[in-house]
Structure 1
Amino acid sequence: MNKLLLPVLVALVAQVTTFSAFAQEIKGDAKQGETKNAMCIGCHGIVGYQASFPEIHKVPMISGQGSKYIVSALNAYKKGERKHPSMRGIADTLSDQDVADLAAYYEASGAVAGAAAPAKAAGGSAKAEALLAKGSCVSCHGDNFSKPLDPSYPKIAGQHSDYLFVALKSYKAENKAIVGRGNAIMGGTVKQFTNAELKEMANYIGSLPGELKVVPQRQFKQ
C-alpha cells in the first residue's frame, strides 16, 4: 500500500509547491492599485497628516517606497505581527491581489522618469552615525539608507523622523495587545539602544535626502 500511496503523495506535494510558488508571484497592477486606495489616501495622501496612536506622529510617507516592502508590511498587519489596530483592520479587508496592486501603485506614485538618485548625504551627527554603525543598520537598509539589500526591507532615508522613532520603539514592545511589532532582527537591534538613542538615530535618518514623498490625491473619488 505504501508503494501505491507514494506517487499520490509526491503529486500532492508537487501541487502544493506549485500553488505556493504561484501565490508568491502575484503581480501588482499600479493602475488597479490607484482604484483601490480609498482607505489609504485619507492618511497617506495628506501632507503633514498626523496620527495620534500610540502617540502623535506623522504617518509614514509611502509613495516611492519599494513594493515588496509594502507587501511585507501589509501582510505583517494581517498576521498580527504588527499590532496597529487601524492598519490591521484595513489590511484584513485586502486580498493578496489588492495588496500587490496597492504596493505597485505606491512604488510608482510620484516617480519622475529620468530623475537622479538622491545625493549622498553630507556628514551629520557623529553620535548618530556611531549609533547606526553599532546597529549595523546599513547592512540591511543599504547605501545612504535608501537602497535596501533585500527588497522586502524599507527605504528609510528622509522618512518622517517622529514616525521612525515610534516605529523603532514598537519593536521593543512586548506582550502588548494593540502596540508593537514582531521581528526578530529589528527587535534584537533596537533593544541594545535607549529611547533617547533611538530618537537620535531617527532624527538623523529623517534628515537624509531620500526618495519617499507624500503625493496628495488630486480629487477624492465619488
Structure 2
Amino acid sequence: MNKLLLSLSAVLVASVTAFSAHAQEVKGDAKAGEKKVAMCIGCHGIVGYQASFPEIHKVPKISGQGAGYITAALNAYKKGERKHPSMRGIADSLSDQDIADLSAFYAASGSVEGAAPLGAALAATGKAAELIAKGNCASCHGDSFSKPIDPSYPKIAGQHSDYLFVALKAYKTEGNAQIGRSNGVMGGVAKQFSNAELKEMANYLGRLPTELKTVPESRFR
C-alpha cells in the first residue's frame, strides 16, 4: 500500500504542475462566462435533472464548484481522458478562453457573500467510516470534503450520490470507447473497492453539507 501511495503521489505532483502552468496562461471572466452557458443550462441548470448515460443518474451540481476543477474536467473531456460522448462534444467546441470563462462563472454562481465556510464533515460511521479511511479521501478533498488541496480537484461533499457512484466506477473502467476516466490517482483509489463499497462511500459523501448547488437559469425558475 505504501508503494502504491508513493507512486500515486508522483503522478499527482506531475499532473498538478502541468495543470498549474496551464491555468496561469488563461484567466477566466465570470461575466463573459455568463454569456456562454447556453449549452450547459439544459442539464446543469435544471434542479433534479437526470442523465441516462451511462446509466440514469442526476447530473452533477456545478454551481459553487472550484474553477480549477471545472477547467481540469472540461480539458479531460476534450483530450478524451474522460470518455462521455455528450461532454466530449461540448468540450471540443470550447476554446481555452471559453473554458476559463465558464469555470469562473460557475465558481461564482450561487455564492453567498459572507457565508461561513464549511467546517469538518460529520464523521462517517460503520462501514462508510472504514471505506473513507481506506481511500484516504480527506487527504485530497479536505476535512470537509469541500476544501481540496489543489484547485484541480473537486469539492465532493453534498454532490449527488448517484453521480458520485457513476463517476467512481468510471475510474475502474478500461477498454471502453464511451465510458471511463483516465486518472492515475483516482484510478488507483477506486480500484481498491468493489462497486458496492463505492456506492456506500458515495452515499455518505452525498449526505454531507455542501457548497455545491444547481442554480436554475431565469427561464427555468
2:181 partner letter: R
Alignment of 1:127 onto 2:134: no
2:141/2:148 contact within 8 Å kept? yes
Look up the match of 2:113. Answer: 113
Look up the match of 2:100. Answer: 100
Deviation at 1:144, TM superposition (A): 1.4
Look up the match of 1:158. Answer: 158
Deviation at 1:21, TM superposition (A): 5.8
Q: Please list every run of 5 or more consecutive structure 1 residues that lacks an aligned counterpart in the other structure.
A: 1-19
Deviations 1:32-62 (A, max 9, x none): 0000000000000000000000000000000
Q: How many residues align?
A: 201
Secondary structure at 1:39 match in 2: helix
Alignment of 1:167 onto 2:167: yes
Q: Please list every run of 5 or more consecutive structure 2 residues that lacks an aligned counterpart in the other structure.
A: 1-19
2:82 partner letter: R
Deviation at 1:118, TM superposition (A): 2.6
1:125/1:204 contact within 8 Å kept? no
Superposition TM-score, scaled by structure 1 size: 0.87
Deviation at 1:22, TM superposition (A): 7.6
Deviations 1:90-147 (A, max 9, x none): 0000000000000000000000100112344333332112101101111111111110
The 1-side partners of 2:155 and 2:137 are apart by: 11
Deviations 1:175-216 (A, max 9, x none): 000000000110011101000000000000000001000000
1:120/1:209 contact within 8 Å kept? no
Counterparts of residues 130-149 of structure 1 (less than 5 Å) = 130-149=130-149
Look up the match of 2:4. Answer: none
- Across the aligned residues of Structure 1 and Structure 2, the Cα RMSD in angstroms comes to 1.5
2:121/2:209 contact within 8 Å kept? yes
The 2-side partners of 1:125 and 1:217 are apart by: 37
The 1-side partners of 2:146 and 2:83 are apart by: 26
The 2-side partners of 1:76 and 1:22 are apart by: 13
2:45/2:215 contact within 8 Å kept? yes
Look up the match of 1:42. Answer: 42
1:72 partner letter: A
